[in-house]
Every structure is written in C-alpha cells, then in structure tokens.
Amino acid sequence: MQAQNDETKAINERLVPTRDEAVQLYEERGGQLTFWPKFGIDPLSDSEIMASRYLSEFNANFPNLNNLFYEVVNNDLTNFRNAICFFRDLKYQYSSLSVIPLLPVGKTQLMEHDTTRRINNSTMPYSSS
C-alpha cells in the first residue's frame, strides 16, 4: 500500500545543502537555532557485544521500520509508542547486564517494573505484528 501512495521523487544530491550549509542559510535568513549540549552517556557504548545483542533483539521485534513510519503518517501511533517503550526497556535491560558477566541471549528477564516482559522468543505487548 505504501508503494501505491509513494509520491516521492529523486533529488540530485548536489542540490541538497550539507548540514552546515543549511544552518548557515537558515541563519542568514533570520532563523535562530538552539544548540543543545550533548547529555547523558550511552551505557552500551563500551560494549560492542551488548550493543549488538540489544539491536538484534529490537530488530527481531520491529523488523520493518517502514511499517511504523506508514502507521505514524496515517495517525496510528500505537506500534510507534510500543517500539519506543521497547527500545527504552531493552536499553535499560542490556545496560544493567553490562555490569555483570554476559548471560546467554534468551536467558535474561526484565525484572524492574514489569516481570511479564521477557527478552527473546516470548509474547510481549511490544510486538509490531
């Protein structure tokens, strides 16, 4: 269905300004941008293995982000919200695990506020299907 509604056209990349050029053009025309400082630290940035497991787990539950996009532009935010919550909960789960020895994938469980959500191969309220 998305392909049927696709009205996009290819644009020559040379016509699109770089980020810095776009900022300069915007500000030259009176626009003002707020530059937020970086905040927080990604708890998985030091563990390539944990980050890989975390992203694999997310992608297994939400394999097609095009579907999420299509639903959002059609005003259905349910799966988008579920994906964000699942992303957040996985990040919390995997960052908690990164301070203890690695456990085999599929043997961990979210323990904090909702023990019904399990990592890997179980039913979750977050499913995109």
**Average pLDDT, stretch 61-83?**
92
Q: How many domains does the chain have?
A: 1
Residue 92 placed within a domain: yes
Residue 23 placed within a domain: no
Residue 129 placed within a domain: yes
Residue 126 placed within a domain: yes
Residue 96 placed within a domain: yes
Instruction: Indicate whether 107 pLDDT > 50.
Output: no
Residue 32 placed within a domain: no
Residue 111 placed within a domain: yes
Residue 7 placed within a domain: no
SS3 of residue 23 by DSSP:
helix
What predicted TM-score, i.e. pTM, was given to this entire model?
0.47
In whole numbers, what is the pLDDT of the chain averaged over residues?
A: 75
pLDDT for 70 equals 92
Question: 45: domain range?
Answer: 41-129
Burial 36-67 (b: 16+ CB within 10 A, else e): eeeeeeebbeebeebbebbeebbeebbeeeee
Instruction: Indicate whether 112 pLDDT > 80.
Output: no
Is residue 74 within 8 Å of residue 126, measured between CB atoms? no
pLDDT digits (tens, 9 = 90+) for 26-71: 999 999 988 777 767 777 778 888 888 888 999 999 998 899 999 9
Least confidently predicted of 19-28, 36-45, 104-113 = 104-113
Instruction: Indicate whether 115 pLDDT > 70.
Output: no
Residue of higher predicted confidence among 102 and 16? 16
**Hey, which residues does 109 pair with through a beta bridge?**
118
